[in-house]
Amino acid sequence: MSSASVLQINVSPGGVPKRPIPDGMVTPLGITGDGHAHPQIHGGPRKAILLITSEGIDELKEQGFPLYHGALGENLTTLGLNRRSVRVGQRYRIGDITVEITKVRAPCETLSVYGPGIQKAIYDQEVKAGNSASPLWGLSGFYASVLRAGAIRPGDPIQLLDETA
């Protein structure tokens, strides 16, 4: 089993892109200093953190989308986490914090700034239905709730603890 870690921590006053920070304090509502342009849609205790794999970003860059870490609005850009194996209900320890994956992120129109068709490149009906066999599974990212608050830093290990679903 390969080891996964936090590659980059990202925040913004609201919207995309999110910009890197050297470390972060995580509360039940997310990373201190992170805002949401549309709080009725994003954020809250069940969508406190958005995780996206750096490998998924690389796949999308290969398709021609001008992406970089933080561009898709993720709070945590991961390295070595297999997006195809992440499931709703899994709990992960990330540095000092513990999170539970609560849902697959449905992309919004805001991402169109990175090119027409990006939503279809990262999310389809199979993903919407919860089918992890979709080749697009996980490209849009995963929301997580914070079960244990604390500090996080780039390089912190990401460890699967258990699955509740």
Tell me the residue ranges of DSSP E strands in the chain: 4-11, 19-21, 24-27, 30-31, 49-53, 76-79, 90-94, 97-104, 142-148, 150-152, 157-163
Which tops the pLDDT comparison, 4 or 37?
4
DSSP 80: S
Counting residues of the chain whose pLDDT is more than 90, the rounded percentage is 87
Non-local CB neighbours of 81 within 8 Å, separated by 6+ positions: 4, 51, 53, 158
Residue 30 has pLDDT above 60, yes or no: yes
pLDDT tens digits for 45-95? 999 999 999 999 999 999 999 999 999 999 999 999 999 999 999 999 999
Global confidence as pTM: 0.95
- Closest to 109 in 3D by CA, of 126, 122, 90: 122
Can you tell me whether residue 18 is helix, strand or coil? coil
pLDDT band at 162 (very low <50, low <70, confident <90, very high): confident
Domains of the chain: 4-159 (2.40.33.20)
